[in-house]
Structure 1
Amino acid sequence: MNLKDRSYLAEPMVGPYEDGEGHIDMKRLRNMSTTFSGWTGWSCFAVLSLGACDQVDQISNELRDLTPHEAYMESLRAVKLAETALGTQWASAAVRSLRDAPTVTLPFGEEGFLFAETPEARSYRVELRRGQRLSINAALDGADAFRIFIDVYRMPEDPSRSPLPVLSSASLSESLEYVSTRRADYVVRFQPELLHGGRYRIELRAGASIAFPVSERDTRAVLSFFGDARDGGSRNHRGVDIFAPRGTPVLSATNGEVYRVETTAIGGNVVWVRDSDRPQRIYYAHLDSQVVRDGMEVEQGTLLGFVGNTGNARTTPPHLHFSVYARGAVDPFYYLFQPPQTLPDASAPLDHLGAWTRTVSPGIRLREAPNSRAPVVSELEESTPLRVLAASGSWYRVRLPDGRDGFVAARLTEAVVEPLRNQFVESASVLFSSPSRVSPVMEDVEAGTDVAVLGSYEGFLYVQSPDGHTGWLAGNADL
């Protein structure tokens, strides 16, 4: 398996394993199962017990190839590195980052630091609607060339099930994109290979996956939506209506082939285009006139016709009825919707990345995500040391001395530069590497030693010894 610059899409298994209603056809699946060495009786049983969406993802997870990240882990096992302390920490960081990914609002940008000596991963949980395109742009500063693994996982409705990787890469050479095939939560994770790190930047955005089909209009011109009642409630609207003056150009939303140009009683003058990039068909109806013919190859933006009100729309103002069919009609709104792309202003200072800061007052809240409505992880005491992992907008991603991560408003912290006070150690003690009596001892501290107190946490003082070492002294934390 080629691990370099390898990017692929792992989509749910559809088609030959489903009946006309979109359900898994177990008989056909069992007949095909001998083709796949990974298929087991347990998997067949699991399909019966999962929700409809999780069924397909569970099967895909059983049958897919290894991602570059997983292949790298296998290579570590092959040379006996996976069982080492570093290998175990690297694998644990990957799993933990999926479980604990903070929920972020798109567009989102973060600049941070990954410590080479401590295996780490960064992750972000986002919600996507069907048809939305997720764009990922990431860069890692560093003089040495090494791999960094980027994975996008679709999270299952049943949290006891494994996430499904839908996009994977071992390169930052180009931006990555994924179009969501359903409404779901996704986790974006990136992780460098062992013993590598550095300063990184990442930007995540959601946007339209196809072009808007009416010239000089956007989704603000959509005035009738998918699922709206029609004919007194006897049927539902199978697309969206985009209103514009008669004669406004109607443009192809995708690349593809025109395969039907006709006039019908309901749609009036219609054009059907088969998308050449994805398994979907696009329907344009109520055109005043068409300018394409069957069999024509079109590109995104090709003129198809003009807005009108033909067919059963004769009593309504001119508009384009626009539909997307992907094994049935689907809501096309988020295929077309282009949300704001400008990142929030970055006000958190970047010169503290990788360094220690401390809280400036008591009661500061550490949150699960970088927004003031996110759940609270902990309320912090004054002068609690925090290691800054990353900055996003006005927030820091930080790590507490006990290893827990969270987000805190950057303005509520200060650099650990000047000591809070100097204090004499009353009796012989030891300097611990973390605020725990079972953590490694860094050095002995003699009675009468003058130490600089930099902060406090859970009954320990964060201090600097006369020879410049920083660590933790057990004792009175009152400042």
Structure 2
Amino acid sequence: MRYLTYYFIILGSVLQACKSGPFNLLKPVSPHQQYERKLISAGLNQNVMGAQWINKSNSLLQNTAIVKLPYKETGYFAADKIEGASFKFSLQQGQLLTIKLTKQSINNFSIYMDLWEQKENGEFKNIAYADSIGSNLQLEAKRSGDYYLRLQPELLVGGSYTLEVNIGPSLAYPLKTVNRKQIQSFFGVGRDNDTRKHEGIDIFSSFRTPVLAVANGTVTRVNENNLGGKVVWLRPSGKDYTLYYAHLDEQIATTGQEVVVGDTLGLMGNTGNAKTTPPHLHFGVYTSGGAVDPLPFVDPLIPALPKINTDISKLNLTMRTSAKQSSFSENQQLTNPESLAQHTIVRILAASGNQYKIELPNGKFGYISSKSLTEAKSIDTRKIDANNQLLYDYPNPVAGIKATLNIGQTVNVLGNFEDFQLVKTIDGEVGWLAL
């Protein structure tokens, strides 16, 4: 016991150095990478705890919770465990992803937060991260597809956290009055008897409504063509795409003009091939690969974050399923669920909406309705019918042995998992017995 105390004192002092000490790097890396490199530099990757932390950081990207945005959860990272959380979600090109992480603990502990995308060869690429002090992260999606968010706390400290992940437009709205109902024709719909596809969105309003710059940038062209009539092209600063404003009644901006968000580029009309339609703005986004859907860039409809309706006082507690069969899935929307048998033991990782994110004794995690769980109190008693019955710390025959029970002893059964029962002895010892 004294050896373990010394071990954790030494480990803690080294980790404090990892947290605050200097580390020379040839190029900028994320705080997570810095922490991992310091663990390796201190030789902590050679002990069980350090190696588990590094392995956990890799496994989190391979085993993610699948969530739909916007998303919110309150969770708990235990100091005595190697913890972490990861999420997979979809973004559309042009959306602005905003992530906010708040922490609560008697220790000023760090949670490393970074964002990833998976390349075609299966490798993960780090594309953004929060700094070591800040807890917010923003990213404009440059492609449509799946993204991965990883949270991992430092070793030997823990506490609760609340994660908020939201989406919105990366550009401003092109009219002063913002109304989603004004957008009535969308990208990709058929035009001219389906001989071509609509390469933008149409935003309707009254004749000669001012049309505004949605970003700071440079007006690259002001001209007229058969389809768009009077048009203005705007290149946002630092972006790799161009914005197209068409069917204007009057062009106000001039070629080469530098503009800021809200500047008037022209007045809405129905010039070009829109002569028979009500006044509207055709708004498009063009990249080197052609037109892309502009709606995610300017969509004013920002969904509200869902409320957490579950009891967060249950975080980090051991509970069990109450129904005969409970739906459980790595997908937050509980699609393609698997069934958990009645009295299955779980640990509560986080609360989200009307669900808990749980961990099974074998390390698998996913979502379950909060109504499917109850406290892990005694559901039965079991009398030991053989001497030297082993009490394990995990439901696995190669797990550590906590105690040896003898014939005639009685234990309370708290729940089950596969071929084991979680029991509590008369002395208060809790562990797993093989069936």
Give the TM-score of the pair, scaled to structure 2.
Answer: 0.87
> Residue 331 in 1 paired to residue 288 in 2?
no
1:116 aligns with 2:79: yes
Take 2:62 and 2:242, find their aligned partners in 1: how far apart are those partners?
37
Match of 1:126 in 2: 89
Q: Cα offset for 1:409? A: 0.9
Query: Which residue in 2 is equivalent to 1:70?
Result: 33
Q: Does 1:214 align with 2:191?
A: no
Residue 471 of structure 1, CA deviation: 0.8
Answering whether residue 304 of structure 2 is matched by residue 342 of structure 1, we say yes
Equivalent in the alignment of 1:38: none
- CA contact under 8 A between 1:148 and 1:172: conserved in structure 2? no
User: Structure 1 CA distance, aligned partners of 2:331 and 2:192?
Assistant: 46
CA contact (8 A) 2:72 2:307 kept: no
**Alpha-carbon distance, 1:82 to partner:** 1.7
Separation in 2 of the partners of 1:121 and 1:352?
18
Match of 2:50 in 1: 87
Kindly provide the amino acid, as one letter, of the partner of residue 370 in structure 1: Q
CA separation of 1:322 and 1:346: change in aligned 2, threshold 3 A: same
Q: Map of 1:318-397 to 2, 5 A cutoff?
A: 318-327=279-288, 328-372=290-334, 374-377=335-338, 379-397=339-357
Structure 1 equivalent of residue 13 of structure 2: none
Residue pair 2:320, 2:374 contacting (<8 A) in 1 also: yes
From 406, 420, 423, give the equivalent of 2:379: 420
The equivalent residue for 1:459 is 419
Alignment-mate amino acid for residue 93 of structure 1 = K
With normalisation by structure 1, the TM-score equals 0.79
Letter in 2 for 1:375: N
> 1:168, CA displacement in angstroms?
1.6
Question: Residue 173 of structure 1 corresponds to which residue in structure 2?
Answer: 134
CA 1:114 to 1:453, structure 2 compared with 1: closer, same or farther past 3 Å?
same
- SS of equivalent to 1:96: helix
- 1: distance between equivalents of 2:244 and 2:414? 66
Q: Taking structure 1 as reference, are residues 256 and 85 closer, same or farther at Cα in structure 2, changes over 3 Å only?
A: same
Instruction: Determine the structure 2 residue equivalent to 1:18.
Output: none
Tell me the distance in 1 between the aligned counterparts of 2:44 and 2:256: 57
- Contact kept, 8 Å, 1:147 with 1:170, in 2: the verdict is no
Distance 1:199 1:138, change over 3 A: same
CA shift digits 1:440-468 (9 cap, x unpaired): 01122233333222112223221112222
Q: How does 1:23-42 map to 2 (within 5 A)?
A: none
Deviations 1:230-273 (A, max 9, x none): 45656543322212221222121112233433444543332222
CA contact (8 A) 2:109 2:158 kept: no
Contact 2:173 2:300 in 1 (8 A): no
Structure with the largest fraction of strand: 2
Q: Tell me by how many angstroms 1:190 deviates.
A: 1.0
Tell me whether 1:402 sits opposite 2:365 in the alignment: no
Percent identity of the aligned residues?
Answer: 35
Which stretch shifts more, 227-236 or 140-149? 227-236
CA distance in 2 between counterparts of 1:212 and 1:105 reads 25
Corresponding letter in the other structure for 2:305: L
Counterpart Cα distance in 2 of 1:385 and 1:192? 25
Q: Please give the residue correspondences for 1:193-232 in structure 2 after superposition, counting only pairs within 5 Å.
A: 193-230=154-191
- Cα gap change, 1:218/1:93 in structure 2, threshold over 3 Å: closer, same or farther? farther
**Residue of structure 2 equivalent to 1:14:** none
Separation in 2, partners of 1:87, 1:338: 46
> Which of the numbers 221, 229, 237 marks the counterpart of 1:268?
229
Cα distance in structure 1, aligned partners of 2:301 and 2:156 = 38
Give SS of 1:242's match: strand
- Determine if contact 1:206/1:339 at 8 Å carries over to the other structure: no
Does the C-alpha gap of structure 1 residues 177 and 445 become closer, same or farther in structure 2, counting only changes over 3 Å?
Answer: same
Query: Which letter does structure 2 place at the counterpart of 1:342?
Result: A
Which of 115, 140, 148 does residue 187 from structure 1 map onto? 148
CA distance in 2, matches of 1:382, 1:97: 28
The match for 1:443 is 403
Whole-Å separation in 2 of the counterparts to 1:244 and 1:300: 20
Question: Is the contact between residue 286 and residue 292 of structure 2 (CA under 8 Å) also seen in structure 1?
Answer: yes
**What is the one-letter code of the residue matched to 1:421?**
D
Task: Identify if the C-alpha distance between structure 1 residues 228 and 452 changes in structure 2 by more than 3 Å, giving closer, same or farther.
Answer: closer
Q: Are the counterparts in 1 of residues 30 and 131 from structure 2 also a CA contact under 8 Å? A: no
Q: Once the 2 structures are TM-superposed, how far is the Cα of residue 97 of structure 1 from its aligned partner?
A: 1.4
Cα deviation for residue 380 of structure 1 reads 1.9
- Is the partner of 1:435 in helix, strand or coil? coil
Rounded Cα–Cα distance in structure 2 between residues aligned with 1:228 and 1:400: 47
Counterparts in 2 of 1:399 and 1:231: CA distance versus 1, 3 Å: closer
Aligned pair count reads: 410
> What SS does structure 2 have at the residue aligned with 1:272?
strand
Contact kept, 8 Å, 1:241 with 1:322, in 2: the verdict is: yes
Contact 2:218/2:236 (8 A) holds in 1: yes
Identify which of 251, 265, 276 aligns with 1:290: 251
